[in-house]
Amino acid sequence: MTTEIAVGEHVFEVAISGPTDGVPVVALHGFPQTNASWTRATPGLIAAGCRVIAPNQRGYSPGARPVGVEHYRIEHLIGDVLGLLDALDLPSAHLVGHDWGAVVAWHLAAEHPDRVRTLTAASVPHSAAFNWAIREDPDQRERSTYFGLLREPEKAERVLAENDAQRLRAMFGAESLDDEYVRHLTVPGALTAASSWYAAMTKEFANLPAVTVPTTYVWSNGDTAIGRAGAQRCGEFVDAPYRFVELDGVSHWIPEEAPETLTAEILARIESVQTC
């Protein structure tokens, strides 16, 4: 079921499924996707008794698409999730994120551990580890060269949308839901808003403190965007029970290409605190 939830002056599209009294799991999507990225993982979570809450985040929900890079700073992205928890009367929830959704999840868990029961992050490691890799690892610097385009939001929208979104479609693998994403993001202004997340990044990301909630980080050695250096260093920035899971041959799009494995890891992390 998709519903609209107001958080401050913005209205978010939120897919909510599972039993009303289920264990709350907030699932955050990445770029350039939508909450549909969790479609394949959701049934397994529901079957295990979870209530899955998957918003289209700031810039992706038409009612939460402010104009201006300053509106996409990380504190606003975190605030949206906190506001969503408040609107649903949830003191805390299990947090899951992929790609940029993982970035938001890492920051939320580090800065508001009282609102996060567990964290499962896919693809992108803790921001301090990732920023270290961009700075110190030539391989990661090469993998991250596409940031240059995305840090110019209006240009990024123009380039990614031209020729029937040829370059946007090229970002996805055969297993992705690219047609749905392209339809959603080629509405005028949508790609500019989504790219503004990149433009709003600051050097402060490198100073994110360690996460203190039980955490699982899932990375694939087939990921062309995230190299091994930052992935392996991620655990240095978790001061709590931690599990690093390396998938073999899966691309960057873990929730769609390896949903069963990701779901199993999410549930294992949840169960690790449910039984304590």
Residue extents of the structural domains in the chain:
2-274
Does residue 194 surpass a pLDDT of 60? yes
Does residue 136 surpass a pLDDT of 80? yes
Backbone angles phi, psi at 86, to 5 degrees: -65, -45
Mean model confidence pLDDT for the chain: 95
Read off the pLDDT of residues 144-175 as tens digits, 9 standing for 90 and up: 999 999 999 999 999 998 888 888 888 886 55
Question: Greater confidence, 190 or 167?
Answer: 190
Give the pLDDT confidence score for residue 94 in this predicted structure: 98
Give the pLDDT confidence score for residue 179 in this predicted structure: 85
Give the pLDDT confidence score for residue 165 in this predicted structure: 87
Give the pLDDT confidence score for residue 170 in this predicted structure: 85
Give the pLDDT confidence score for residue 178 in this predicted structure: 77
Provide the whole-model pTM: 0.96
Q: Summarize the confidence of residues 95-124 as an average pLDDT.
A: 98
Give the pLDDT confidence score for residue 187 in this predicted structure: 92
The CA-atom distances, in angstroms, between 253 and each of 11, 132, 193, 257 are: 27, 23, 21, 6
Does residue 180 surpass a pLDDT of 90? no
Which alpha helices (H) appear in 88-225, and where do they start and end?
100-111, 127-136, 138-143, 147-150, 153-170, 178-185, 190-199
Q: Summarize the confidence of residues 164-190 as an average pLDDT.
A: 83
Give the pLDDT confidence score for residue 255 in this predicted structure: 96
Read off the pLDDT of residues 37-57 as tens digits, 9 standing for 90 and up: 999 999 999 999 999 999 999
Does residue 209 surpass a pLDDT of 80? yes
Give the pLDDT confidence score for residue 166 in this predicted structure: 85
Asked if 80 and 197 count as a contact pair (C-beta separation under 8 A), the reply is no
Q: Which of the listed CATH numbers 3.30.360.30, 3.40.630.10, 3.40.50.1820, 3.30.70.141 matches domain 2-274?
A: 3.40.50.1820
Does residue 110 surpass a pLDDT of 90? yes
Percent of the chain residues topping a pLDDT of 70: 97
Does residue 186 surpass a pLDDT of 50? yes
Question: Greater confidence, 163 or 274?
Answer: 163
pLDDT band at 256 (very low <50, low <70, confident <90, very high): very high
Asked if 201 and 227 count as a contact pair (C-beta separation under 8 A), the reply is no
Give the pLDDT confidence score for residue 174 in this predicted structure: 57
Read off the pLDDT of residues 221-249 as tens digits, 9 standing for 90 and up: 999 999 999 999 999 999 999 999 999 99
Question: Greater confidence, 274 or 114?
Answer: 114
pLDDT band at 129 (very low <50, low <70, confident <90, very high): very high
pLDDT band at 276 (very low <50, low <70, confident <90, very high): very low
